């Protein structure tokens, strides 16, 4: 087991990529706290982690709200006494064309996708710095490198910010034994991408050398790699998971 008895937090862990990461980490021996803005989803994913034989905690957390984030971090630390892994996965997406984005929608996008990553990272780093170990994994996106294709300009801008924040955080936390990396998925089948495409993938398939969209398990495997000692000399890196849609 690559993550035996490690303690992980997965934000937005109730569905899609986050749920798959939570389960993959549990299968590698981690205890996993599932945070989600939707309590019922968090409960269901936590039950799946328990069924995989590991301990779990379902917490209703909106990552854009610092009191909720700080309380949830304290709760995890109280439960298990340490925090080894944070997966900043919670995110929202809209497809509104840039000339139609209202200020409120822009602000919410940045509050969840960027401020949420900052708040959760800052809240766990005091534990990780004290432990002199820890791994933070951020969900960027292909859109954060090339601009929104189907997703909106505001979504793409938040993901570019996440990729840059990953590097700054990696520089700050490296001397403390904490590694920070990001993943940049292309098109992975989840509720988010079903909303964007209406389930019609054919426009994307022509642009993906592997000729198919990705599965959540294919992102989860990379998250396990980044959380484990298999990636012990990686920090500040972004791993593309896109079937070859972008090669840079």
Residue 134, helix vs strand vs coil: strand
Of 9-17, 25-33, 125-133, 165-173, the segment contacting ligand NAD by CB under 6 A is: 9-17
Q: Which residues pair with 57 in a beta bridge?
A: 33
Alpha carbons 35 and 58: distance in angstroms, whole number: 6
Q: Does 240 bind ligand NAD (CB under 6 A)?
A: no
Q: Which of residues 20-59 bind ligand NAD (CB under 6 A)?
A: 35-38, 41
Q: Does 114 bind ligand NAD (CB under 6 A)?
A: no
Which among 221, 220, 166 is positioned nearest to 18, based on CA atoms? 220
**Least distance to ligand NAD from the beta carbon of 107, Å?**
13
Torsion angle of the four alpha carbons 18, 21, 27, 31, in this order, in degrees rounded to the nearest 10:
-60
Which residues does 101 contact at the CB level (< 8 Å), separation at least 6?
Answer: 94, 152, 153, 154
Give the nearer residue to ligand NAD in terms of CB position, either 88 or 228: 88
Residue 18, helix vs strand vs coil: helix
233 counts as catalytic:
no
Give the nearer residue to ligand NAD in terms of CB position, either 81 or 198: 198
CB 85 within 8 A of CB 30: yes
Q: Which residues pair with 137 in a beta bridge?
A: 87, 181
Torsion angle of the four alpha carbons 22, 24, 26, 29, in this order, in degrees rounded to the nearest 10:
-140
**Least distance to ligand NAD from the beta carbon of 32, Å?**
14
CB 49 within 8 A of CB 24: no
Of 7-15, 71-79, 171-179, 226-234, the segment contacting ligand NAD by CB under 6 A is: 7-15
The tokens for 234 are 């990686």
**Least distance to ligand NAD from the beta carbon of 18, Å?**
5
Q: Does 18 bind ligand NAD (CB under 6 A)?
A: yes
Binding-site member from 22, 23, 24, 90 for ligand NAD (CB under 6 A): 90
Q: Which of residues 172-231 bind ligand NAD (CB under 6 A)?
A: 185, 187-188, 190-193
Which among 154, 236, 245, 233 is positioned nearest to 203, based on CA atoms? 245
Binding-site member from 3, 7, 10, 17 for ligand NAD (CB under 6 A): 17
Give the nearer residue to ligand NAD in terms of CB position, either 129 or 160: 160
The set of catalytic residues is 155
List interacting residues with ligand NAD (CB under 6 A): 11-12, 14-18, 35-38, 41, 61-64, 89-93, 112, 116, 139, 141, 185, 187-188, 190-193
């Amino acid at each position: 087991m690559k993550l035996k008895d490690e303690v992980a937090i997965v934000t937005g862990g109730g569905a899609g990529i986050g749920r798959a990461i939570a389960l993959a980490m549990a299968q590698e021996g981690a205890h996993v706290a599932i945070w989600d803005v939707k309590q019922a989803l968090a409960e269901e994913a936590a039950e799946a982690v328990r069924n995989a034989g590991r301990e779990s905690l379902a917490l209703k957390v909106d990552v854009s709200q610092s009191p909720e984030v700080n309380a949830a971090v304290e709760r995890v630390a109280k439960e298990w006494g340490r925090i080894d892994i944070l997966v900043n996965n919670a995110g929202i997406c809209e497809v509104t064309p840039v000339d139609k984005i209202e200020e409120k929608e822009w602000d919410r996008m940045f509050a969840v996708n960027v401020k949420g990553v900052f708040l959760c990272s800052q809240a766990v780093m005091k534990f990780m710095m004290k432990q002199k170990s820890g791994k933070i994994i951020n969900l960027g996106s292909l859109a954060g490198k090339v601009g929104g294709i189907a997703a909106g300009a505001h979504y793409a801008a938040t993901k570019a910010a996440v990729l840059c924040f990953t590097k700054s955080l990696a520089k700050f936390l490296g001397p403390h034994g904490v590694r920070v990396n990001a993943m940049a998925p292309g098109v992975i089948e989840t509720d988010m991408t079903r909303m964007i495409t209406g389930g019609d993938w054919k426009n994307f398939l022509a642009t993906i050398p592997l000729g198919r969209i990705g599965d959540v398990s294919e992102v989860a495997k990379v998250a396990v790699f980044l959380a484990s000692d298999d990636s012990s000399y990686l920090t500040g890196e972004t791993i593309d998971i896109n079937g070859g849609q972008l090669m840079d």
